[in-house]
Amino acid sequence: MNLTNTHSNTYRIILFSLWLVLSLSLFGCDTADNKEVSVTKEITTLTDKNIKTFTKTLLKDYVEARSELLAQFKTFKKANDKYGFAKYRNHTWTPKYIEKKEYYNAVLDENRAYIDKAGVKPLFLRFENLLYIGVNLKNSLLNDDDELLQSTYAEIKEDHATISKFKK
């Protein structure tokens, strides 16, 4: 029996086994928690029959998102927790907001002519503007920028005046 040949074969088997185990472990690490789940929400086709209901839903989503953002801002500002608000806004509020924003953008894209005709486009624009309001609130707190805060509050009042016209 040739000892060198046996060592060489054993070495190859061990090396192959290590590569196999390593490969399987790398590909086997994907769990259900890491996989993106795509949930598609049906895009509403707007008509004269459903525009009022849709508008109420959009207004409700706007008011809820704005109210939550402002309430948290005031809480963190009062506690002088600048980074707490930034973390909340970036990791809690924004992902929820973005999900709704993407849906409303898709509705806008699919119904642009009807939305223009119905005159409800300002609602979509105000909803879009919430993202910038959130950024400005965060930056005003992080930078102790009272001027930015005051201009953001003025912008919120303008948005409120616009959406109030649609509350019927």
H-only helix segments in the chain: 3-27, 51-78, 82-88, 94-110, 112-118, 121-142, 146-164
**pLDDT 10s digits, 77-109:** 999 999 999 999 999 999 999 999 999 999 999
Q: Which domain covers residue 131, as residue numbers?
A: 51-164
In this structure, what token pair is assigned to residue 153? Answer: 């509050």
Task: Specify if 103 maps to a domain.
Answer: yes
CA–CA dist 144, 82 (Å, integer): 9
Count of domains observed in the chain: 1
Res 117 pLDDT > 50: yes
16, 22, 27, 33 alpha-carbon torsion, rounded to 10°: 160
**pLDDT 10s digits, 22-66:** 444 444 444 444 444 444 678 999 999 999 999 999 999 999 999
60, 132, 158, 142 alpha-carbon torsion, rounded to 10°: 110
Task: Specify if 33 maps to a domain.
Answer: no
**pLDDT 10s digits, 142-152:** 999 999 999 99
